[in-house]
Amino acid sequence: MFLVAADSHSKWLQVLIMNSTTAENTVTGLRKLFAAYGLPESMVSDNGPQFTSEEFEPFLKLNGVKHVLCPPYHPASNGFTERNVQTFKNMLAKPDPRILLQHRVSDILFQYRNTPHSITGPTPAGLFLMRAPRTRLTLLKPSLQTKIHDRQQKEKQHHDGSRPRHLSQFDIYQPVIIRNIRGGRERWNHGTVTKILLTYIVRLPGNNRHVIHVEHIIPGDDMLSGSPAPSPDSFSSGELLPANAALVLDKPSVPVELTRHPVVVQTPVRRSEHPAVSQSLATQDAPTGDLSLR
């Protein structure tokens, strides 16, 4: 004996194996369905004694489910359920003694739920679960998202294989020296790491900020500011940082926000008639508030 339930919107089919069709067993089966999928607004059934008993009606009323009974001796009034019952019987018509009944029912439901429906178009599982379950066909034809992910992983492995394996890892507020090759002349300037971001943003004396890659930064004690390019041995060894970054400033007390693109921002200084005064203002009146890069 089976209890067959179907969702009229998605055509999702549910079949429970029953020892008997009493009202008590029917209520127990529906309680399992309600616990798994939630309470429906209404339920349509025939006029079987288990659906009209004094135990069944209070159960639906207590759970706020409207019960609709089909006219007696007129199965076409509940044609949707009757068609599902007939479909299930046809799929179960060829018994196989080597396979357990529960196993066969599970296989039938799996095939039915993942087959496009002739009325709705999508599969019942796609409408009911709002996603496409993974099946054996998925192994034969991987999805586009899987292909893209695999391709990206291969490109990443190829890129990581060509990168140097000895890069320094920096901590917050650690003094560092950055490689500055702007203007066609290579220089090494001091800075301080203040925040870990997607790229290294370095602020140099004069309130200039630069985006610096980790390969162009070394610990601050390795060399003096303005020195020529160091030899490869002067770089501190460390683990490879996959696109890690940090915000580097010469004054850790000044917070700076991350910018998407490499920029150089120069803060204007106050002018004076005397050069000595101008130079003093450029040093003392540099802004110490929040600096936001847009």
Residues 129, 180 within the same domain? no
68 pairs with which residues across the strands? 44
Residues 245, 115 within the same domain? no
What is the tens place of the pLDDT at every residue in 124-165? Answer: 877 888 887 777 777 777 666 777 878 888 887 776 665 555
Residue 213 lies in a domain: yes
What is the tens place of the pLDDT at every residue in 8-21? Answer: 778 888 888 888 88
Residues 13, 123 within the same domain? yes
pLDDT at residue 294 in the model: 40
Residue 155 lies in a domain: no
Structure-token pair, residue 102: 């529960």
- How far apart are alpha carbons 63 and 56 in whole angstroms? 11
pLDDT at residue 235 in the model: 38
DSSP for 242-285, please give it.
Answer: SS---EEESSTTS-B---SS-----------SSHHHHHHHHHHS
Residue 80 lies in a domain: yes
If phi over 0 gives left and psi between -120 and 50 gives alpha, with beta otherwise, what is residue 52?
Answer: alpha
Count of residues making up the chain: 294
Residue 146 lies in a domain: no
pLDDT at residue 59 in the model: 92
Domain boundary residue among 121, 140, 159? 140
Residues 8, 67 within the same domain? yes
Asked if pLDDT for residue 97 goes beyond 50, the answer is yes
Domain CATH number, residue 47: 3.30.420.10
Residues 16, 136 within the same domain? yes
Question: Mean pLDDT score of the chain, rounded to an integer?
Answer: 69
Residue 161 lies in a domain: no
Domain boundary residue among 140, 167, 194? 140
Structure-token pair, residue 278: 């101008």
Domain of residue 187 covers 175-284
Residues 217, 268 within the same domain? yes
Residues 58, 131 within the same domain? yes
What is the tens place of the pLDDT at every residue in 231-271? Answer: 444 433 333 333 344 444 544 444 444 444 444 445 555 55
Residues 89, 212 within the same domain? no
Burial class (CB in 10 A: 0-12, 13-18, 19+), 210: buried
Give pTM, 2 decimals: 0.45
- How far apart are alpha carbons 57 and 66 in whole angstroms? 10
Q: When comparing pLDDT for 172 and 164, which is higher?
A: 172
- How far apart are alpha carbons 20 and 2 in whole angstroms? 9
pLDDT at residue 76 in the model: 65
Burial class (CB in 10 A: 0-12, 13-18, 19+), 104: middle
Q: What is the mean pLDDT of residues 102-119?
A: 80
Residues 128, 245 within the same domain? no
Q: What is the mean pLDDT of residues 182-192?
A: 78
Residue with tokens 């695999």: 150
Structure-token pair, residue 2: 């089976």
Residues 112, 181 within the same domain? no
Residue 254 lies in a domain: yes
What is the tally of structural domains in the chain? 2
Residue 160 lies in a domain: no
β-pairing verdict for 200-204 and 247-249: parallel
Residues 179, 136 within the same domain? no
CA angle 201-202-207, nearest 5°? 120
Assign 291 a pLDDT band (cuts: 50, 70, 90). very low
Asked if pLDDT for residue 55 goes beyond 70, the answer is yes
Residues 9, 106 within the same domain? yes
Residue 106 lies in a domain: yes
β-pairing verdict for 42-45 and 66-69: parallel
Structure-token pair, residue 27: 């209520």
